[in-house]
Structure 1
Amino acid sequence: MAKRKTYKKYKKNKTISTSAIVLTAIFVSFFALRAVDEWLSLGLFAKFDAMVVQWTKQVTNQKPPVSFDPNADFSVHFIDVGQGDCTLILSDGHAILIDAGENDKGDDILAYLDDIGVQKIDLMIATHPHSDHIGGLDTVIQGISVKEVLMPPLKSSVVPTTKTYTDLLTAVKEKNITLKQSKVLEEYRFGNGKLTVLGPVANYDELNNTSLVARFDYGELSVLLTGDMEADAERDLLASGASVSADVLKLGHHGSSTSTSDAFLQAVGPRICIAECGEANEYGHPHEEIIERVSSYGAAFYRTDLYGHIVLSAKDGALDVSTQKQVSG
């Protein structure tokens, strides 16, 4: 009996040991294949990860923060980060992230990206080095793959020495990300979408006016993104002959009266205007003057302080607007 018992125990342990070896081999092979996939930039595991995320959301009934058509030709997400800017463009499987709010908003943005299944950023734009625009970018860089970062040229006399700015540069360097200085009229292709750098067209002492200005075009639809560009830079941009006409205008400087002059609004001719601003912010953005100007012009007006996240989806040339919150009246 003793020998038989010992034999059974030995066989059981041998089975457990073999299973452990097999499982270890599977895990090692899995991570080895993942490493090779990342090294060769095949993207196979990115698709696998996206499938796992989608399956998990279906099982847990998790819904994205804003309901929008995932099969749209492209979508533009004005992410509510309080008093700051953060815009995401999705175009034919590519992702462009423009700004990321204050320093404490990086994790919120990563959560948003995860909720809608974004696995990597093809182009990250830091419009200008104010903390309410670039504060969360270093956290985003640490949490998701970023291919390239684009920043506007700055005069040496206005290059910031703030920790927020140096943290961004440090994160870019640590992750070995390509960092480029923007050039006017430079184009970036994302499937059928195209992003064109329009400004700044001059060297400015005011950081708001150094904002990288870009227009995104997809078919006949276009979106103009202006950072915190103010009236002086708007005037110079118009004088340069730049094509600023767009269906959607992201208002400069959170809807401040220092931006979106009447001449600029007329030149853009938007159907929809967006103000990215915080609820009950101390600056009073968007200013009443701008609200009235947009209203008198006849454009639809959406603002993140009231609507939360705002998503514009385009399908077959038509624009659909979805918002996180409903506003009555």
Structure 2
Amino acid sequence: MKKPNTITGRLLRRLTALALAAALTLSLAGCQDLLALLGEGGYPASSTVQTQTPAEGSSFSVNFIDVGQALSVLVTCDGQSMLYDGGNVADGSLVVSYLESAGVTRLEYVICSHAHEDHVGGLAAVLAKFPAGHVYAPVTQNDTQCFQDFVKYTQQQGLNVEIPAVGTSWQLGSATVQVLGPVAQYDDTNDTSLVLRIDYGQTSFLLTGDMEQKAESDLVNSGANLDVDVLQVGHHGSETSTGYVFLNSVLPEVGVISVGEGNSYGHPSENTLSRLRDAGVDVWRTDLAGTVTITSDGTNYTVSSEKYAAPEQQNPTLTDGSGQQSSSTQTIQAYIGNANSKKFHLPSCSNLPDPANQVLFSSYEEAVQAGYTPCGNCLG
């Protein structure tokens, strides 16, 4: 698939963002008040980075390795390699074999997104095989044996597990990698996931680990540059990740879900698939397509996979159950603004203002242009 590299394509993505917020259903759990998302917090000034223009002969690929109900992503650029997660302990040999087949002899960067086994488990085997330059994680210790093995093999290379600060960036060949999150402290291990943005020329990618909607909202509020072409869909397509507010900021064209066939968690969630559909995101799933590889020349990117799976298989919400394509655009006749709070709501919202304070808008765009912000309960 080729990336549309035109101003029109970008405008269409922005228009999709407006329609996306309007498609939010009242069944969405855990909505956050958007006033909090629009607070005074800002992204560190040090976060601004200069991306490089790929030189002639440069090469770049992102490989979402099929490790079942787990995650492992190999990024290669100009002969340098970075591994983001290594799947479960049982996946270690598979990941090592994949790296060998890809011609990897050294990993400039090894990243453990967070301390759960399905992300850190296979990294011990990787570090036992390949020399590394830097090893990053959101924590330096954890009670689980798999994380302790990860630390042990890091130290056997004379390295320490480092915790990168938000805003930290580095070059991987001609690609620029930047740490965007987590931007706060969390008790939920999933929300501690290291979030990476990768820019290669005019193409961009976002790796999110298992980040949940609380951390997603905080990341949006931080002012981080989240608008990318390709999104690693968080937490294997779980219902608790990839919320509308986050998608509205990321506006990806492609979403890759690393997920196991017939897994007991019900991943990916139908609600998450519906949100991706509403956002116009092309979904690729490792349970159906196998390893998904995205290559880029710095202007356009191409998505390929080990196995063919039709779009309506990878995202069944594209059809209405009759075999026909369904429309992802919901018809909403009006939005109701609150003249006092300057919020606007769906007509079905439980927090509608008194009739005397109601202002009617015919479209989402009209409400935003009038200076109103979406209600966190019905448009969160």
Please give the secondary structure, in 2, of the residue aligned with 1:321: strand
User: 1:118 aligned to 2:100?
Assistant: no
Pair 257,72 (structure 1): closer, same or farther in 2 beyond 3 Å:
farther
Report 1:80-99 matches (<5 A). Answer: 80-99=66-85
**Hey, what's the Cα distance between the residues in 2 that align with 1:295 and 1:199?**
25
User: 1:185 aligned to 2:167?
Assistant: yes
Q: Deviations over 1:26-72 (max 9, x none)?
A: xxxxxxxxxxxxxxxxxxxxxxxxxxxxxxxxxxxxxxxxxxxxx76
Asked if the contact 2:58–2:174 (Cα under 8 Å) also holds between the matched residues in 1, the reply is no
- Aligned residue in 2 for 1:238: 220
- Consecutive unaligned residues of structure 1, counting only runs of 5 or more, are 1-70
User: 1:108 aligned to 2:94?
Assistant: yes
**Hey, what's the Cα distance between the residues in 1 that align with 2:307 and 2:160?**
37
Post-superposition offset of 1:304 = 0.5
**Hey, what's the Cα distance between the residues in 2 that align with 1:240 and 1:321?**
30
Post-superposition offset of 1:297 = 1.4
Give the alignment partner of residue 160 of structure 1, picking from 142, 146, 150: 142
Post-superposition offset of 1:299 = 1.2
Asked if the contact 2:151–2:160 (Cα under 8 Å) also holds between the matched residues in 1, the reply is no
- Aligned residue in 2 for 1:304: 286
**Hey, what's the Cα distance between the residues in 1 that align with 2:156 and 2:265?**
35
Please give the secondary structure, in 2, of the residue aligned with 1:147: strand
User: 1:290 aligned to 2:272?
Assistant: yes
Please give the secondary structure, in 1, of the residue aligned with 2:223: coil
170-179 vs 213-222, greater mean Cα deviation = 170-179
Please give the secondary structure, in 1, of the residue aligned with 2:90: helix
- Aligned residue in 2 for 1:201: 183
- Consecutive unaligned residues of structure 2, counting only runs of 5 or more, are 1-56, 313-380
Please give the secondary structure, in 1, of the residue aligned with 2:143: coil
Asked if the contact 1:76–1:88 (Cα under 8 Å) also holds between the matched residues in 2, the reply is yes
**Hey, what's the Cα distance between the residues in 2 that align with 1:145 and 1:288?**
41
Post-superposition offset of 1:153 = 4.2
Post-superposition offset of 1:179 = 2.6
User: 1:279 aligned to 2:265?
Assistant: no
**Hey, what's the Cα distance between the residues in 2 that align with 1:288 and 1:183?**
35
Asked if the contact 1:78–1:311 (Cα under 8 Å) also holds between the matched residues in 2, the reply is yes
Greater RCO, CA 8 A, separation 6+: 2
Report 1:1-329 matches (<5 A). Answer: 73-153=59-139, 160-328=142-310
Post-superposition offset of 1:121 = 0.5
Number of aligned residue pairs: give it.
255
**Hey, what's the Cα distance between the residues in 1 that align with 2:86 and 2:301?**
24
Pair 316,241 (structure 1): closer, same or farther in 2 beyond 3 Å:
closer
**Hey, what's the Cα distance between the residues in 2 that align with 1:191 and 1:115?**
20
Please give the secondary structure, in 1, of the residue aligned with 2:83: strand
Give the aligned residue type for 1:99. Answer: D
Q: Deviations over 1:201-258 (max 9, x none)?
A: 0111010000000100011111000000000000111111111110000011011010
Post-superposition offset of 1:178 = 4.3
171-180 vs 117-126, greater mean Cα deviation = 171-180
Normalized against structure 1, the TM-score is what?
Answer: 0.75
Pair 246,316 (structure 1): closer, same or farther in 2 beyond 3 Å:
closer
Post-superposition offset of 1:73 = 2.6
**Hey, what's the Cα distance between the residues in 2 that align with 1:97 and 1:115?**
14
Post-superposition offset of 1:292 = 1.2
Post-superposition offset of 1:177 = 2.4
CA RMSD in angstroms comes to 1.3
Q: Deviations over 1:155-198 (max 9, x none)?
A: xxxx5211111111111111212431110000011121000000
Post-superposition offset of 1:316 = 4.5
Asked if the contact 2:294–2:303 (Cα under 8 Å) also holds between the matched residues in 1, the reply is yes
Asked if the contact 1:87–1:97 (Cα under 8 Å) also holds between the matched residues in 2, the reply is yes
- Aligned residue in 2 for 1:28: none
Please give the secondary structure, in 2, of the residue aligned with 1:257: coil
Post-superposition offset of 1:152 = 1.4
- Aligned residue in 2 for 1:15: none
Post-superposition offset of 1:147 = 1.6
**Hey, what's the Cα distance between the residues in 2 that align with 1:79 and 1:133?**
12
Moved over 3 A (4+): none
Asked if the contact 1:153–1:182 (Cα under 8 Å) also holds between the matched residues in 2, the reply is no
Normalized against structure 2, the TM-score is what?
Answer: 0.65
Q: Deviations over 1:267-321 (max 9, x none)?
A: 0010000111101111011100111111121111001111110000002411111
Please give the secondary structure, in 2, of the residue aligned with 1:209: helix
- Aligned residue in 1 for 2:20: none
